[in-house]
Chain A
């Protein structure tokens, strides 16, 4: 099951509302369960590179099925079996916070990525958008 454009639009709407409250023009990207882009909005005044970074965060969260910040643990030298270099793995991988997997009934159906504010603000905007999904889950 993959996320629909309709759900993605609702998430973008909720995310943008939160971003306006925080006063941060940002980019929000929604990808499907395979990491392919479904929808992306860059708010007025949002810096140009934020669009690509938001998309990278969403891709990372969707394909690893975990928050983009958690993916960074794989590159931690102090963790046992630390494997890949998270800085130069492929074009898309990013360990910057602000990417979350979208789950319905425990299954990952996509990912959301936000870029434009501080890491905390980006995650908060992700969470605000995720409330749309929680409403579906309930």
Chain B
């Protein structure tokens, strides 16, 4: 894999939607962006809240911008980690990137053959820690679809 195509993005979205429908049973939005953070495709499932598309796009963008899962970035803002991860400056991150930076889990960068970031996937609409649902499973389902 060198870059994400629309065809690959659609495959990822289908897999994430399947996970949301069959495993979580919760409608949500999923977005895929390319290596520059630009949107390739986004889908909002019937019944998902209106704001979820925008947040899914922001999560995917943030994951690419920092080359990190947004789950890791959410730790920067965890009060228990202040002084350890990014220290007291962490709160200064809020609202950066023209307000597009999102520190909520479920945004994951997609890596290519050489480990370089070639895009990102983001999802919004599924509450954290519902039952035994891991925080990032829905986005990981999308990435797994690339290796089917």
Chain A residues with CB under 8 Å of chain B are: 4-6, 8-9, 32, 34, 36-44, 48, 51
Q: Are A5 and B38 in contact (CB under 8 A)?
A: no
Chain B residues with CB under 8 Å of chain A are: 5-7, 9-10, 36, 38-46, 50, 53-54
| Nearest-CB residue, chain A, relative to B39 | A51
Give the chain A neighbours of B38 by CB distance below 8 A: 42, 48, 51
9 nearest A-B pairs in the assembled complex, by CB-CB distance: A36-B50, A48-B38, A37-B53, A51-B39, A41-B41, A39-B43, A44-B5, A40-B42, A38-B44
15 A–B contact pairs at CB < 8 A? A5-B46, A34-B50, A36-B44, A37-B44, A37-B53, A38-B53, A39-B41, A39-B42, A40-B42, A41-B6, A42-B6, A42-B40, A42-B41, A48-B36, A48-B38
Kindly state the separation between the CA atoms of A69 and B36 in the bound complex, as whole angstroms: 31
Task: From the candidates A34, A36, A44, name the one contacting B53 in the complex (CB within 8 A).
Answer: A36
Q: Are B39 and A44 in contact (CB under 8 A)?
A: no
| Nearest-CB residue, chain A, relative to B17 | A5
Instruction: Give, as a whole number of angstroms, the nearest-CB distance from B131 to chain A.
Output: 24
Give the chain A neighbours of B9 by CB distance below 8 A: 41
**Contact status of A37 and B42, CB under 8 A, knowing A43-B6, A44-B5, A48-B36:** yes
Kindly state the separation between the CA atoms of A48 and B10 in the bound complex, as whole angstroms: 17
Give the chain B neighbours of A34 by CB distance below 8 A: 50
Give the chain B neighbours of A5 by CB distance below 8 A: 43-46
**Contact status of A42 and B39, CB under 8 A, knowing A36-B50, A36-B53, A37-B53:** yes
| Nearest-CB residue, chain A, relative to B29 | A37
**Contact status of A40 and B6, CB under 8 A, knowing A4-B46, A5-B45, A5-B46:** no
